[in-house]
Chains A and B, each alone.
Chain A
Amino acid sequence: MPERVLEIHALGPLLFRDGRPFSAADGTETAARSLSLPLPSTVAGFVRTQVGLAEGKGFTQEHLQNLHGLQVCGPLLARGGGILLPAPRDAVIYKQDEKPQVMKLRPFSPPEGAGCDLPEGLLPLQITQDVKPESGYNFWTAQSMTDWLLGERVIPQKIAGLPTETRVHVAMDPVKGKAQEGQLYSVAYRPLEMGENPQTYQPASLRVRLSLPNGQTPAPIGHLGGERRPVAVEVKPSLSDYWFDCPEAIKKRFAELGKGARVRLVLATPALFEHGWKPGWIEKSGNGELHLPRGLCNVKLKLVAAAVGRREPVSGWSLRENRPKRVRWMAPAGSVYFFEVMDGQPADLLESWLRPISDLEQDRKDGFGLALWGVW
């Protein structure tokens, strides 16, 4: 099946629910907040719906099962022509003499007598400057990310991401058709556009990559995220112009690496791991075991250090069972893992470039944990 890139355009501001129940009723949270990007599973579900609609065979149990098995890699944010990636957590942007500077966090062994309470066997990251991190550097261009993964000095552009647009609504009395007293609620939408201010906004979009069964085109219009907000779906004519393929420079660098090499994994989407923050496949890597994420069955890795943000919850509503799903905790996008290659060809790791490396297969199909690889 040929792989294609789908581009999702918003036809209005979108809402990416954060898992909090929300309604206009008294006593609940009357403000809906939006995540900065939709969760991979939200987008995967949306894309599968569009594919199912285009097939036009209805959503029987069998069809649902097939659709559920469709792997969707994404979402990645795109602006203009280029892909934007979540800022890696081993970079600290700060200001010195009004100019942005970057502190590169790298694992180090504390001197004799000093230490910290990290999980056994892990090194802390070295702080070399006492600075306050600058906010607003939330997304990096593909070029900055490439340089960063190669270990070069990078001063990224300041890209905050999608703006928030809070709208206040009034609950309506369905019988009388008038506003209900005191029942205001607000929704923080995310318009798919970016810029310094409304005058300079340019459109943004979400991209995913998948194999379309039988070369089909998904239904062009649908609803993404909370509050049934409309979006349009476009199938892109070529793959590599619209995706972030592994850059040649990284391929070249990895080809030169061997045993003992130091490699870095950066998460482009949040990941779900067996051990919470820590991938379960680390211990199984390199032993040839099947069912591991791509590339990892041939390369044995040892975790040296990690920069992982606070856990983020994912739950949602199971339409099949018509009840809330269980809550799970994700390692946030932008988390960085520092490895040492114990055995195997590091270049094999690039098989999972922007492919999901979560532990469970269904989570991988949903797009959790797209990987970027670099060196340190």
Chain B
Amino acid sequence: MSHLLSISLGPVQDFIAAARRTADLYAGSQILQELSKHAAQFLHNKGAQLIFPADPNADGANKILAEVKDDPKQLAVETKKAVQERLLRLWDETIRKLPAEQRNLIDQARAQEQLGRFLEFYAAWAPLPKKEAYKEARLQVERLLAGRKALRDFAPTQQHDAGVPKSPLDPSWAAVIDPRQWATASIRLADGSHRPLRIKPTEHLDAISLFKRCYGVLNSDKVVDTRTMARRSWRPEAEPDERYGEDDDHIPEPQPYLAILVADGDRMGELIARQDDPDAHRGLSKTLDDFAKEARTIVPKHRGFMVYSGGDDVLALLPVNQAIACAKELSEAFRHRVKGTLSAGVAIVHYREPLSVSLQNARDAEKAAKNGGRNALAVALHTRGGSPVTVVQPWNELSWDELLEAYQNRQITRGFAHELRDLVQEWQDDMRADYLHKEALRVLARKEAHDLRIPAPTSDTPTYRKALLRFVDQLIIARFLSGIREEEHAGKSA
């Protein structure tokens, strides 16, 4: 009899977010993709008929669903072993490109302990007596998998690390290197040249972080760092190469912010649950893969860097002034292809902010879009200091373009938002809302952007004041999104 076999690999978010450099981030998501793909291919070669992903060569997805003829329990065991071996092989292949004297400085025993314990693998299976029973069987297997994942079993770790500093990226792991011996370490690229790993003297990397660093540097021709991304808002052609050797400098960027975009499909579980048979589900898998592929062309078009795109998930870095346009295009593509809606979060962050924190900001923004009713875009501004500001709007009510244009054409400056805010804050709740609107228009009349639309009152004054304060938030965010270089009198920014 056939079975449905469902597999989930991890860790995902924590693993990807444990990154200091963009290359680490990229490496994390690539390694995870590589392992998932290996699991899918392994099952495919064992005669399993893949459902999600439908194509064994598709990228992304830490989740696999397949129809299998053999004993599913045995297959799960074998797949787990195959993925584990693949991880060790990938580590070997990567580390082998380090010079021998460097490689010998790695605490191999501890590294093996960490690599052996790092992967999470969960599997569940349910009988599939006939195609018509697919809907129920799929529901059964997914619920079983969720029930199995309630227990995240782990064995005690033996890293023999008393006296050894812990990894700054994941405190579950102790360092496998002494970073002071790695200051000048480099790795050999395919063309025979060497590229520095740039491990700082305080970076006590564990095996997984070291793996990511090496993997990331080997692929650094594909990676755009946060600083270059910030630069691209005023110099779209900027490339990472130009700033080699600049890493340690303290030259301030005239516009030091970049955007991180996180998006995923709304109510995907319900959409999947509507698929009546394996072939319909395969069709959906393919559609999602097509979207992921299209997303991979949309992001670079906006001078962005795609960190991860698989299924309905997107994670990308973008120049601030491209973020809205790119998000809109992704939403359109999703609507067009998948016939569903997308929720996206964009966090505007400083390029020097720790990447893990910035990434969390972007995920929180995406959550805000979901909580704001889905099918929406949330934009969150995180300046260095000051509390974050978030604005959520449904895709069909976005009103960013007008504001961005006004800033880009220098018709308004940052002072306007603050003038308006002072006005709203001074206005008492027992004063008339329409007068407040008129007063706001009078403030605007002194600027060049006369035709900017300031929201008009729809009900009482307290409500209107709240609406205007949201508009002020949007104005403040829009100045950052416009990507204009810092005006004079820097230091007074919002």
Known: A276-B155, A315-B166, A324-B164. A124 touches B148 (CB 8 A): yes
Residue pair B202, A27 in contact (C-beta under 8 Å): yes
Task: Say which one of B171-179, B292-300, B317-325, B427-435 lies at the interface with A.
Answer: B171-179
Q: List, in ascending order, chain A residues with CB within 8 A of B165's CB.
A: 21, 324
Contact B200 A127 (CB under 8 A): no
Question: Are the CB atoms of B200 and A323 closer together than 8 Å?
Answer: no
Q: Is B195's beta carbon under 8 Å from chain A?
A: no
Q: Is the CB of A114 within 8 A of B151?
A: no
- B159: nearest residue on chain A (CB-CB)? A327
A127/B352 contact (C-beta < 8 A), A114-B126, A117-B122, A327-B172 known = no
Residue from A127, A128, A182 having most chain B Cβ neighbours under 10 A: A127
**B11 A181 Cβ-Cβ under 8 A:** no
Among B123, B143, B200, B203, point to the contact of A130 (Cβ < 8 A): B143
B202 touching A327, Cβ below 8 Å: no
The reply to whether the CB of A26 lies closer than 8 angstroms to some CB of chain B is: yes
**Which residue of chain A is the closest to B179 with respect to CB atoms?**
A27
Whether, in the assembled complex, B124 has its beta carbon less than 8 Å from a beta carbon of chain A, the answer is yes
Is B154's CB within 8 Å of the partner chain A? yes
Q: Which of B127, B172, B385 has the most CB of A within 10 A?
A: B172
The answer to whether A105 touches B150 (Cβ under 8 A) is yes
Q: How far is the CB of A148 from chain B (nearest CB, A)?
A: 16
Decide: B171 and A315 in contact? CB cutoff 8 A.
yes
Contacts of B173 in A (CB 8 A): 327
Complex alpha-carbon distance, A308 and B155, angstroms:
13
Query: B202 to A21, Cβ gap below 8 A?
Result: yes
- Indicate if B161 sits at the interface (CB-CB under 8 A): yes
Q: A29-B20, A275-B156, A328-B157 are in contact. Are A114 and B144 (CB under 8 A)?
A: yes
B151–A118 contact, CB under 8 A?
yes
Closest Cβ of chain A: how far from B350's Cβ, in Å?
9
Residues of B within 8 A of A45 (CB): none
- Binary contact track B170-211/A, C-beta < 8 Å → 1, others 0: 011110000000000000000000000000111110000000
The B-contacting residues of A in range 1-60, CB under 8 angstroms, are 18-23, 25-31
Also in contact, A20 and B171, with CB within 8 A (given A118-B151, A119-B153, A130-B143): yes
**Is B168 a contact partner of A28 (Cβ separation < 8 A)?**
yes
Are B145 and A276 neighbours in the complex by a CB distance under 8 Å?
A: no
A89 lies within 8 A of chain B by Cβ? yes
Contact with A along B109-126 (1 / 0, CB 8 A): 000000000000111111
Can you list the 9 inter-chain pairs with the closest CB atoms, starting with the nearest?
A27-B200, A19-B171, A113-B127, A116-B124, A116-B148, A124-B147, A127-B143, A313-B172, A114-B126
Structural contact, B161 and A327, CB atoms closer than 8 A: yes
A263 within 8 A of partner (CB): no
Smallest CB–CB gap between A283 and chain B, Å?
15
Tell which of A110, A115, A118, A324 touches B162, judged by Cβ atoms closer than 8 Å: A324
CA distance A186 to B384 in the complex (A): 9
Q: Contact: A25 with B140, CB < 8 Å?
A: no
A132 to B1, CA, bound (A): 32
The answer to whether B99 has its CB under 8 Å from any CB of chain A is: no
Contact residues of A between 248 and 303, Cβ < 8 Å to B: 273-278
0 or 1 for each of B409-446: is its CB under 8 Å from A? (1 = yes): 00000000000000000000000000000000000000
Name the contact of B145 in the complex, choosing from A116, A122, A326 (C-beta under 8 A). A116
Q: Which residue of chain B has the shortest Cβ distance to A186 in the bound complex?
A: B357
Q: List 24 A-B contacts (CB under 8 A).
A: A20-B166, A21-B165, A21-B202, A21-B204, A27-B203, A31-B353, A31-B356, A110-B126, A112-B127, A114-B126, A115-B124, A117-B80, A119-B153, A125-B147, A125-B151, A127-B147, A276-B153, A276-B157, A310-B11, A318-B162, A324-B163, A327-B173, A327-B174, A329-B157
> Which of A31, A90, A110, A273 has the largest count of B CB atoms less than 10 A from its CB?
A110
Residue of B156, B169, B353 with most partner-chain A CB within 10 A: B156
- Distance, CA A337 to CA B397, complexed state (A): 49
